[in-house]
């Protein structure tokens, strides 16, 4: 049930449905901004630290038969990309955009 604002009047009975509506509104509002967010950037939520591009190099074309150098190049590129992706995840956690656990 989506939250809908209610204008209360004196001596009005508070029903279970009205209280549940308020609880839903509070829960939705608390999910909007991370608790660790600050207003240090852009007047909104703290921006994450800069993360460089994942890779400047492509894996390239592999020949019909693999040789050790080609396989090593692909493995090295995969390791570099994994490191870059983990840096993005860590930056999201540090900025409060992603949960730490």
pLDDT reported for residue 42: 47
Task: Give the model confidence (pLDDT) of 58-83 as tens digits.
Answer: 767 777 787 888 888 888 888 988 98
CA distances from 43 to 34, 40, 47, 63, 92 (A): 15, 7, 10, 52, 18
Q: Which residue has the tokens 């509506």?
A: 21
Single pTM value for the model = 0.43
Task: Give the model confidence (pLDDT) of 79-90 as tens digits.
Answer: 988 988 888 888
Question: Tokens for 25?
Answer: 């509104």
């Amino acid at each position: 049930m989506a939250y809908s604002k209610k204008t209360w009047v004196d001596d009005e009975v508070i029903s279970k449905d009205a209280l549940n509506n308020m609880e839903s509104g509070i829960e939705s509002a608390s999910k909007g901004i991370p608790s660790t967010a600050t207003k240090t950037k852009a007047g909104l939520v703290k921006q994450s630290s800069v993360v460089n591009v994942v890779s400047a190099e492509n894996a390239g074309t592999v020949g019909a038969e693999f040789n050790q150098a080609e396989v090593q190049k692909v493995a090295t590129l995969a390791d570099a990309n994994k490191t870059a992706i983990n840096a993005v995840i860590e930056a999201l956690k540090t900025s409060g955009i992603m949960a730490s656990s």
